[in-house]
């Protein structure tokens, strides 16, 4: 049985007369990595701030580990770690010195626990260097180390990959997977990097115009997307738009992408051959999280 550790029920938020969230409901279970995505201004950061008690809830409820965020704030927030935007650190101190300072904000954080999070975050070899010498990816890992010092079972991250290079993103992905699997932590990530989320999230929640469009396993979401994508390799792509009525996406001089039902693939191949195009291969392309997102939101930009 799944252990539910975060539950949002019919969350609403108004700024004056403007309603920015309406009946937002979703949940996070132990060990889940939930991708929280949506177009510009959809309400992602507002939702996170309501969960963390940084903004007042207009109506609805947030329950964390069985405690209502409005009625029992301290008990509810105690097992939550979070980074909203970039983590703030003292650049002139070492990583260890930063963690020692943050540990003093909590009761009972031992040196053993500090060493444990240093090991978990993969900073053991650089922890005694000044933070000013860290890469952005290392600072992000140090921020996560600081946010899990008090043994939370929920970690909430708002745009954690912003500014990271591919190596930094990979390091962050491996760390989050480790926390979810080994620490049984439920992780909620708001990000515009759909390709990256697709590689390690098991659940997704899409929000648009302050309302939840879908909330399910990523595998289930991909099944909901109608039609499959196919990659065609041909001898040329010149004038393809005149030959094919379907919407196509030119990849390069020999490949194009097209969205089709499986039964229509032979028809497209015949059409190409009849118009003097050589078809070398056709491969079904698995639906990506990005494909599913644009299908659900009608093509709105992600942010």
Calpha distance 202→35 (Å, rounded): 8
Which residues 6+ apart lie within 8 Å of 103 measured at CB? 109, 113, 114, 149
May I ask the CATH architecture of the domain 4-221?
Answer: 3-Layer(aba) Sandwich (3.40)
Predicted local confidence at residue 301, as pLDDT: 53
Beta bridge partners of 13: 21
Predicted local confidence at residue 163, as pLDDT: 75
| 145: its two tokens | 């180390």
Domain limits, the chain: 4-221, 226-286
The rounded radius of gyration (Å) of the Cα atoms in the chain is 23
CA-nearest of 172, 180, 174, 173 to 32 is 180
pTM of the model as a whole:
0.81
Which residues 6+ apart lie within 8 Å of 138 measured at CB? 123, 126, 168
CATH of domain 226-286: 3.30.70.1560
Calpha distance 99→143 (Å, rounded): 9
Phi, psi of 287, rounded to the nearest 5 degrees: -65, 130
User: Pairing between strand 255-260 and 248-250?
Assistant: antiparallel
User: Pairing between strand 186-190 and 33-37?
Assistant: parallel
Surface-to-core class of residue 72, CB atoms within 10 Å of its CB (0-12 exposed, 13-18 middle, 19+ buried): middle
**Grouped pLDDT means (10 residues each) for the chain, 303 residues:** 88 93 96 93 92 95 95 94 84 96 92 94 94 91 93 92 81 90 93 88 94 92 77 92 84 90 91 94 86 79 48
Longest dimension (CA), the chain: 76
Calpha distance 27→262 (Å, rounded): 35
C-beta neighbour count of 210 within 10 angstroms = 21
CA-nearest of 72, 30, 27, 69 to 49 is 69
Q: Are 155 and 147 in contact (CB under 8 A)?
A: yes
Predicted local confidence at residue 279, as pLDDT: 95
Instruction: Lay out the sheet containing 228-234: strands in order across.
Output: 248-250, 255-260, 228-234, 279-285
């Amino acid at each position: 049985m799944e252990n539910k550790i975060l539950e949002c029920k019919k969350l609403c938020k108004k700024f004056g007369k403007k309603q920015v969230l309406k009946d937002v409901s979703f949940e996070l279970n132990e060990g889940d990595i939930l991708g929280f995505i949506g177009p510009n201004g959809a309400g992602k950061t507002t939702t996170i701030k309501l969960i963390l008690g940084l903004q007042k809830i207009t109506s609805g409820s947030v329950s964390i580990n069985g405690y209502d965020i409005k009625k029992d704030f301290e008990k509810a927030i105690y097992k939550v770690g979070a980074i909203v935007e970039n983590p703030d650190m003292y650049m002139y101190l070492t990583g260890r010195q930063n963690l020692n300072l943050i540990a003093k904000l909590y009761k009972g954080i031992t040196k053993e626990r500090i060493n444990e999070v240093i090991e978990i975050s993969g900073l053991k070899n650089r922890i005694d260097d000044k933070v000013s010498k860290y890469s952005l990816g290392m600072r992000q890992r140090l921020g996560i180390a600081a946010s899990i010092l008090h043994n939370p079972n929920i970690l909430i991250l708002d745009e954690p990959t912003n500014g990271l290079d591919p190596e930094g993103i990979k390091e962050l992905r491996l760390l989050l997977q480790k926390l979810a699997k080994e620490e049984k932590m439920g992780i909620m990530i708001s990000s515009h990097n759909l390709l990256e989320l697709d590689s390690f999230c098991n659940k997704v929640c899409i929000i648009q115009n302050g309302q939840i469009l879908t909330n399910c396993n990523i595998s289930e979401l991909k099944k909901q997307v109608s039609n499959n994508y196919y990659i065609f390799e041909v001898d040329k792509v010149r004038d393809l738009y005149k030959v094919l009525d379907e919407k196509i996406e030119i990849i390069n001089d020999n490949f194009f992408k097209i969205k089709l039902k499986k039964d229509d693939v032979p028809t497209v191949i015949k059409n190409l051959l009849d118009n003097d195009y050589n078809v070398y291969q056709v491969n079904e392309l698995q639906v990506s999280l990005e494909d599913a997102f644009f299908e659900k939101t009608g093509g709105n930009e992600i942010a």
